């Protein structure tokens, strides 16, 4: 039996190492963003890099775009995941169990796998358009709708949904399974409709888990680099790509500014997460705190 003590002991080497690396890198970013960068002879602490960043129009529009985009894709994933989890929950028996197992698969596959699959299958030179052309359903690959690097960022959204819907399903299923079904039975007995049972009984109980999943999805979508880099449209650049491009241009004098952009990105993600958590606590069912 794995006791709590043992678990802490087993996790401590990783945790210590991780905290050490992460915390020191984070502190260094903050210090650099405040203008202390002795390598380039910069030694005075100042907020001017933050001021510059907050006055940069491209940075602000890119941030807003990234925020809306992350909100939309995380929201879609949560809605889709919630619907599917409820369906799977209802179908007890082998189908439901199989569905649950199947949902765990995409959670384990890394994003880059999905990206490559999308590029190989759905880009205009991919397998699906070639197949359609061979079958005579399409005149040429250029008539296939653009699904990667497209202006609506469909490629990125597809990747996120593919990864995150199953993630929402898995985290909700664990909660749904442990729910006391007698609550719904009582509701039904008292004449509540299905919608009322869902809205007043099930939803408040799973709401903390759902919003937790939303926070994780949102933060990832807001800060992920490789997905928008490979599948994004160059005209509608997302924030992580914007910052990283800036970073690899290799102008060391810009380092404090780049680090302040980074800190702003992190700060923003943390603030959003905090706001959602606060909301979750305030909503009905919030006192359950994620249903331990």
Partner 1 sequence: MKKRKFLYLGLLLSLCLLVLWGCGSSKKAADTADKLPTSYSQALKDAKGKTVTYYGYGGSDTQNKWLDEVVAPMMKAKGVTLKRVPMDIDTILNKLTNEKEANKTSGNMDVLWINGENFYNAKKLNLLDGPVDGKIIPNMAKYINSSDLDVKKDMNVAIDHLEVPYGNAQFVFVGSQSMFNGDYPTSAEKMLTWAKANPGKLTYVAPPDFTGSAFVRNIIYETVGYKALNDAPATKAGIYKVIKPSLDYLNELKPYLWSEGKTYPKTTAQMDKMFADHQIAMTFSYNQMYAATQKKAGVFTDDAQTFVFDKGTIGNYNYLAIPKTAPDKAAAVVLINTMLSQKAQTERLKLKYGAVVPPYSAAKMPSAMTEKINATAETDHTLTTQTLADKRLPEVSGKKIPIIESLWKEYVLNAD
Which of 94, 136, 151, 191 contacts partner 1 by CB under 8 A?
Answer: 151
Please tell me the distance from the alpha carbon of residue 28 to that of residue 19, in angstroms, as a whole number: 14
Q: H-helix or E-strand containing 247?
A: helix 239-248
Please tell me the chain's helix, strand, coil percentages from 3-state DSSP, rounded to the nearest 5. Answer: 75, 0, 20
Q: Which of residues 255-284 bind partner 1 (CB under 8 A)?
A: none
DSSP 166: H
For residue 26, give the nearest of 256, 223, 259 by alpha carbon.
Answer: 259
The least distance separating partner 1 from the CB of residue 291, rounded to whole angstroms, comes to 23
The least distance separating partner 1 from the CB of residue 31, rounded to whole angstroms, comes to 12
Per CB under 8 A, does 226 bind partner 1? no
The smaller minimum CB distance to partner 1, of residues 225 and 278, is found at 225
Which of 71, 86, 138, 146 contacts partner 1 by CB under 8 A?
Answer: 146
Per CB under 8 A, does 250 bind partner 1? yes
The smaller minimum CB distance to partner 1, of residues 123 and 262, is found at 123
Return the C-alpha torsion angle 160, 162, 163, 166, nearest 10.
130
Per CB under 8 A, does 248 bind partner 1? yes
The least distance separating partner 1 from the CB of residue 2, rounded to whole angstroms, comes to 14
Residue 258 · residue 247 · CB < 8 Å: yes
Residue 208 · residue 286 · CB < 8 Å: yes
Per CB under 8 A, does 41 bind partner 1? no
**Under DSSP, is residue 42 helix (H, G, I), strand (E, B) or coil?**
strand
Return the C-alpha torsion angle 256, 262, 264, 265, nearest 10.
170
Which of 54, 76, 119, 132 contacts partner 1 by CB under 8 A?
Answer: 119
Which of 27, 252, 267, 270 contacts partner 1 by CB under 8 A?
Answer: 252
Stretch that binds partner 1, among 46-54, 86-94, 225-233, 284-292 (CB under 8 A): 225-233
The least distance separating partner 1 from the CB of residue 23, rounded to whole angstroms, comes to 11
Per CB under 8 A, does 38 bind partner 1? yes
Please tell me the distance from the alpha carbon of residue 267 to that of residue 110, in angstroms, as a whole number: 26
- CA 196 to chain centroid, in Å, comes to 30
For partner 1, the binding residues (CB under 8 A) are: 4-5, 8-9, 12, 15-16, 20, 38-39, 119, 123-125, 130, 141-142, 146, 149-151, 229-230, 232-235, 245, 247-252
């Amino acid at each position: 039996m794995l006791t709590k003590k043992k678990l802490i002991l087993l996790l401590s080497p990783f945790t210590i190492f991780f905290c050490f690396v992460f915390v020191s890198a984070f502190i260094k970013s903050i210090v650099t963003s405040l203008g202390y960068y002795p390598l380039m002879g910069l030694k005075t602490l100042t907020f001017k890099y933050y001021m510059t960043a907050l006055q940069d129009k491209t940075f602000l529009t890119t941030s807003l775009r990234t925020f809306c985009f992350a909100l939309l894709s995380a929201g879609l994933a949560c809605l889709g995941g919630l619907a599917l989890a409820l369906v799977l929950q209802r179908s007890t028996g082998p189908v439901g169990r199989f569905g649950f197992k199947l949902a765990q698969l995409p959670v384990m596959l890394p994003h880059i796998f999905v990206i490559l699959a999308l590029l190989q299958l759905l880009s205009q030179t991919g397998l699906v358009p070639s197949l359609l052309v061979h079958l005579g359903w399409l005149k040429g690959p250029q008539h296939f709708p653009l699904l990667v690097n497209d202006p609506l960022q469909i490629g990125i959204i597809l990747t996120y949904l593919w990864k995150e819907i199953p993630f929402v399903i898995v985290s909700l299923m664990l909660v749904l399974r442990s729910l006391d079904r007698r609550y719904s039975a009582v509701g039904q007995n008292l004449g509540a409709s299905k919608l009322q049972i869902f809205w007043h009984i099930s939803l408040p109980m799973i709401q903390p888990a759902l919003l937790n999943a939303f926070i994780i999805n949102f933060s990832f979508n807001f800060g992920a680099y490789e997905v928008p880099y490979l599948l994004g449209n160059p005209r509608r650049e997302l924030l992580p790509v914007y910052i990283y491009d800036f970073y690899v241009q290799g102008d060391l004098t810009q380092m404090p500014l780049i680090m302040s952009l980074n800190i702003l990105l992190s700060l923003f993600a943390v603030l959003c997460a905090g706001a959602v958590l606060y909301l979750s606590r305030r909503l009905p069912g919030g006192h359950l705190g994620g249903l331990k």
